[in-house]
């Protein structure tokens, strides 16, 4: 039995998979064609990915704008490709004045996407204060700033709620706590126990979010209010990170397990035929 609850803005939509098998999410070839992928088979492709370093102060965003606690590094302790997976690891340690380290990758100026199906196979960590995310930012962020550039959160998770996956849209007039967001809840299993495929279908006038083929959130150009602007007619770049603490998840507690691993099996981008 499927239960669907729609509560807009800062609330949730819940869809339960029940006893269904996880569906095959590879698009039918007559509808979609693979445009680009990173399968993370051997080593990190540094022609695509750049590891951001620090606490955000270097970018003028102390705590990366969210009161996060980690120092991002490019060290193998925090960032590696292993057994065909990208592994981002959060570690509890004193490092450069921070109490935690982790990693954050961006594809800015190297790989940018405008429209299509963007998906990743992911396995998230569990534990209070852990915040893994797979998301997009507008190419023009350095010129216009955030949120005017737009942000598409394909997937973000709260470690203390491992059965929930969130998706959100941030833009002019709907950012931060006022983002257009919803969540997907699987009552049968948690997202830290196995890999799941998360993604968005991004078209000129609509963005839809899904988990394992189940659509749980959709925003259209026409659904925005008069004071809100649709800014998704330009290329966006990719981001992957595992934050520790911050205003979305709160601080870790003594029971939070470290090291904590956010694993990505692949990222694939399809275009409509």
Per-residue model confidence as pLDDT tens digits over 212-258? 999 999 999 999 999 999 999 999 999 999 999 999 999 999 999 99
Residue ranges per structural domain of the chain: 30-272
151 as an active site residue: the answer is yes
3-state secondary structure of 65: helix
Set 68, 119, 156, 261: catalytic member: 156
The yes-or-no verdict on residue 3 having pLDDT over 50 is no
Which pLDDT score, from 0 to 100, does residue 26 have? 53
- Is the pLDDT reported for residue 24 higher than 50? no
For residue 161 the two structure tokens come to 């709620």
How far apart, in whole angstroms, are the C-alpha atoms of residue 133 and residue 66?
Answer: 13
Q: Name the percent of the chain lying above pLDDT 90.
A: 86
Alpha helices in the chain (DSSP H): 141-144
Q: Does residue 124 register a pLDDT over 60?
A: yes
Distance separating alpha carbons of residues 9 and 218, to the nearest angstrom: 12
Segment 106-115, tens digit of pLDDT: 999 999 999 9
Cα–Cα distance for residue pair 152/260, rounded to 1 Å: 25
Report yes or no: 201 and 117 within 8 Å, Cβ to Cβ.
Answer: yes
pLDDT, position 189? 87
- Catalytic site residue 261? no
- pLDDT at residue number 58: 87
Question: Which of these, 88, 82, 85, lies nearest to 70 by C-alpha position?
Answer: 88
Strand ranges, E, within 40-187: 50-51, 70-72, 79-82, 85-95, 98-102, 104-106, 112-113, 116-123, 130-138, 151-156, 164-170, 180-185
- Whole-angstrom distance, CA of residue 253 vs CA of residue 129: 7
Burial of 94 (0-12, 13-18, 19+ CB in 10 A): exposed
Q: Which residues pair with 266 in a beta bridge?
A: 121
Among candidate residues 106, 42, 98, 99, the one with its CA nearest the CA of residue 74: 106
User: 68, 119, 151, 261: which one is catalytic?
Assistant: 151
pLDDT digits (tens, 9 = 90+) for 150-203: 999 999 999 999 999 999 999 999 999 999 999 999 988 899 999 999 999 999
Q: Tell me the mean pLDDT in the region 20-36.
A: 65
Q: What are phi and psi of 144, to 5 degrees?
A: -115, -15
**pLDDT confidence of residue 183:** 97
Q: Of 93, 120, 36, nearest to 244 (Cα)?
A: 93
Cα–Cα distance between 207 and 189 in angstroms, integer? 26
What CATH code is assigned to 30-272? 2.60.120.200
Q: Is the pLDDT score of 269 beyond 80?
A: yes
Answer yes or no: are the C-beta atoms of 208 and 41 closer than 8 Å.
no
Percent of the chain with pLDDT over 70: 89
Looking at per-residue confidence, does 33 or 12 come out higher?
Answer: 33
* Number of alpha helices (DSSP H) and beta strands (DSSP E) in the chain: 1, 20
């Amino acid at each position: 039995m499927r239960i669907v609850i729609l509560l807009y803005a800062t609330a949730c939509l819940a869809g339960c998979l029940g006893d269904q098998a996880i569906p095959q999410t590879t698009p039918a070839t007559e509808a979609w064609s693979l445009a680009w992928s990173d399968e993370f088979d051997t080593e990190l492709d540094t022609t695509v990915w750049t590891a951001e370093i620090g606490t955000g102060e270097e970018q003028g965003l102390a705590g990366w704008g969210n009161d996060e606690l980690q120092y991002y590094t490019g060290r193998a302790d925090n960032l590696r490709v292993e057994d065909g997976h990208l592994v981002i690891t959060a570690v509890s340690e004193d490092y450069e004045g921070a109490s935690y380290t982790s990693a954050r990758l961006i594809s800015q100026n190297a790989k940018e996407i405008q429209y299509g199906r963007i998906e990743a196979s992911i396995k998230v960590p569990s534990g209070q204060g852990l915040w893994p995310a797979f998301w997009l930012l507008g190419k023009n962020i350095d010129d216009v700033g955030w949120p005017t550039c737009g942000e598409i959160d394909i997937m973000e998770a709260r470690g203390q709620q491992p059965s929930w996956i969130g998706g959100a849209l941030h833009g002019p007039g709907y950012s931060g706590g006022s983002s257009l967001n919803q969540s997907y809840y699987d009552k049968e299993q948690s997202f830290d126990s196995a890999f799941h495929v998360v993604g968005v279908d991004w078209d000129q006038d609509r963005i839809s979010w899904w988990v394992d083929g189940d659509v749980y959130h959709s925003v259209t150009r026409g659904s925005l209010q008069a004071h809100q602007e649709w800014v998704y007619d330009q290329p966006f770049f990719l981001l992957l990170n595992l934050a520790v603490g911050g205003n979305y998840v709160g601080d870790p507690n003594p029971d939070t397990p470290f090291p904590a691993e956010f694993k990505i099996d692949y990222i694939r981008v399809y275009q409509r035929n």
